[in-house]
Structure 1
């Protein structure tokens, strides 16, 4: 699934709409909500979309919201409600972005999809596994995620037998920051890899059994585009 602004906007707006009618007092998403949005996105985009992909994409935006919430509390930061922007003065802005370059997308510039994120994550419902409380199967949403394994360890070991929904916002932010740190290390390792192509790569890929020729070509092209 190749996410772009249109598909991200579609998912965030649909999720926000599920809460806008005021019928859900506890502000909790259920698995069926994610399943429904995945179905609608498939109809909208024409691509095969699974509930797991939608869930993981929402989780990405949840992490962005946690970062935005932290940045709004920076000393000296001013909130522009008209533009939905976190404003810093010149020297402070330059100094912060130098030390935290990834924060630049949230500072002194209108935050993309802020209204939708606020509607979705600006309540206590946005904790743990998005507080999904339905018995309907959603798939192995976090099984293959390094960050999820960090969160899972923390949930099992921090606070003993406490349920996920009982964690405070500070604790949730701490766990999300732990996940971000692990992901940053993984990204750094990928970025520092040697950017070369092994001469045997083509045969190694194309001779893999059990896949169509088109799928193997896609895999080979991806490796060429991401040499590191």
Structure 2
């Protein structure tokens, strides 16, 4: 079942799921659902998370072993090759590493897909100048409080499957389990600016529209509506056009009466 879980998470990464901040709750639950359907037994997100955490610990050991002096890496078989002398010396001090040297590493490709890009935080986070798949300064016997964050926090601040704590490194974005991530000064400034812009836009949308009519010639209405030979509807149609077109309205007021009549006839003929 552990290998099934790892392969399902690797499939998610292959589909484009971002893992730089851990898997989201929806992804953990999707793997739990797939395992439930596969096994016929109910599986929770926590039960999926725990095997993933163990695979992460294996990946840390594998990366450290690959960097050992005297170790050789066989890319074809995914095997860390150590001679007997180096193997005995290392496993004496690190007995948990004895299962990895000189044997093909199980599910190496899947572990590399999931963890190779540096998903961990805190003390397990990789520096920007380190190659993918290496772990910086990992010590043996790290406690549970030093586990990397494999499951991202949700909007409410809770972990997707199981509580996890990041290290004290400056790059850590998460506090203790159950707390919301604090915004940086830069993020807070951006959010404040956006909030102000949205509020101003809302005020502008809700504000009543005021039509400025002070630039309309004061005699335009009287001159236009008093011209004989036209119905009130025809005169009102022409007046509306003149009010909407200030230059036309100013010119109309300055016309002689006979030219005003001619303008009205031509304008009505165009409609």
The TM-score with structure 1 as length reference comes to 0.57
- Corresponding position of 2:152: 132
- Equivalence for 2:103: 109
Show structure 2 runs of 5+ residues with no match. Answer: 122-147, 175-271
| Corresponding residue for residue 91 of structure 1 | 85
Q: 1:50 aligns with which of 19, 36, 44?
A: 44
RMSD: 2.6
After superposition, the C-alpha distances for 1:46-73 in whole angstroms (9 at most, x for unaligned) are 1221101111221111111111111111
Aligned equivalents of 1:19, 1:139: Cα separation in 2? 17
| Structure-1 residue corresponding to 2:14 | 20
Give SS of 1:86's match: strand
CA contact (8 A) 1:35 1:138 kept: no
Q: List gaps (5 residues or longer) in structure 1.
A: 1-6, 143-147, 167-228
SS state at 1:79 partner: strand
CA–CA distance in structure 1, aligned partners of residues 51 and 81 of structure 2: 27
Deviation at 1:95, TM superposition (A): 2.3
Q: Secondary structure at the match of 1:19?
A: helix
- 1:165 and 1:86 map into 2 onto residues whose CA distance is 34
- Greater C-alpha Rg: 2
Output aligned runs, 1:153-192, within 5 Å.
Answer: 155=167, 158-159=168-169, 162=170, 164-165=172-173
After superposing on structure 2, the runs of 4+ consecutive aligned residues of structure 1 that deviate more than 6 Å are: none
Per-residue CA distance 1:128-179 (angstroms, 9 max, x = gap):
422514337656613xxxxx5xxx4x73xx35xx45259xxxxxxxxxxxxx
Do the aligned partners of 2:152 and 2:160 also contact (CA within 8 Å) in 1? no
For the 8 Å contact 2:152–2:159, the answer to whether it is kept is: no
Deviation for aligned residue 1:114: 0.8
- Would you say how many aligned residue pairs link Structure 1 and Structure 2? 147
Say yes or no: does 1:36 pair with 2:30: yes
Q: CA deviation at 1:33?
A: 0.4
Do the aligned partners of residues 28 and 10 (structure 1) sit closer, same or farther apart at CA in structure 2, a change above 3 Å counting? same
1:112-123 map, 5 Å: 112-123=106-117
Matching of residue 64 in structure 1 with residue 70 in structure 2:
no
Q: CA deviation at 1:25?
A: 8.3
The alpha-carbon distance between structure 1 residues 63 and 25, as it changes in their structure 2 partners (threshold 3 A), is: closer
